[in-house]
Amino acid sequence: MMVEEVRAAGKDGVACFVDGGHPDMGRSLDNLRRIATESGVHIVAGGGYYTQAAYPPEISKMSEDEVLEDLLKQTREGGLGAYGEIGSSAKMTADEKKVFRAVGRAHLRTGIPIFTHNAYAGPRAAANNGPPQNALDQLDIFESLGVKPEKVVIGHLCCIEDYDMHKAVAKRGAYVGIDRVGGTVMLSDDIRVKMVTSLIDAGYANRVMLSSDFFMEPLLKSRGGPGMAFVVTQFLPKLRAAGVKEETVHLIAVDNPRRWLSFVPKKV
């Protein structure tokens, strides 16, 4: 089923998917390889750790250096192309800070780009949302290690209506994750369009990163949903309708992810 879904997304204009799973989420690299091969659509394998709630029990007993070595092992054995989703809870735990530092160090060793998860889920889940500062705290950890912000996507910022924070992330050179496109339970895509146009108007079109954070079975075409190409088939037309020029749409949908994903592999 997933082969057909990914193949259909390719026909709709998706050239590449970035997988957001990793071992602590039960992701299968063999399945990813099979889907990519049979569908003809590129898939970039992610790696790392998600959030405290998903960590294997041994993480709490591991040192930062040991987490780093495990990440490098994942990279060697899995042929990874990204670290992510690397997440923090509403209040970042000590283990999560340790993992963030290890991921930053792994990036410096490998060149592999990073994308993060933030505990932002829109106004309906306001009581469980982390503070806006969490996004900047994530970036602070990476920058303190020497990670260049342009290799980092700060995730789920489209679930928090803090336009100043979005611009602060972009100003520092990181990508702003408008990455739950289609997730109307959290915020409407009309609001996400305003977030994108706000960043464009501020001169940060080159720091917008789109994604659907696709994970819900009812959204599959075989289940009557819009399919995995939702960003291309439904959100980009909304940007065009809002007056975003075609060259800017291309910059956001093609050039930005290609620039972020590119790196020179290093032996680890």
pLDDT tier for residue 225 given thresholds of 50, 70 and 90: confident
Rounded average pLDDT over 84-100: 97
At 266 the pLDDT is 83
Rounded average pLDDT over 110-137: 89
Average pLDDT over the chain reads 94
Rounded average pLDDT over 31-45: 97
Position with higher pLDDT, 123 vs 247 = 247
Residue carrying the six token digits 């003809």: 40
At 214 the pLDDT is 87
User: Out of 20-24, 162-166, 210-214, which region has the weakest mean confidence (pLDDT)?
Assistant: 20-24
Contacts 24+ apart (CB under 8 A), 177-180: 177/115, 177/116, 177/153, 177/209, 177/211, 178/208, 178/209, 178/210, 178/211, 179/115, 179/153, 179/155, 179/209, 179/210, 179/211, 179/212, 179/213, 180/156, 180/211, 180/212, 180/213
Q: Which of 164, 162, 163, 157 is nearest to 178 (CA)?
A: 157
At 88 the pLDDT is 96
Q: For residues 55, 60, 61 and 62, what is the CA-based torsion angle, rounded to 10 degrees? A: 70
Contacts of 63 (CB under 8 A, 6+ apart): none
pLDDT tier for residue 122 given thresholds of 50, 70 and 90: confident
At 128 the pLDDT is 76
Q: What is the pLDDT of residues 53-74, one digit of tens each?
A: 999 999 999 999 999 999 999 9
Domains, the chain, ordered by start: 2-261 (3.20.20.140)
Rounded average pLDDT over 80-102: 97
pLDDT tier for residue 191 given thresholds of 50, 70 and 90: very high
At 267 the pLDDT is 80
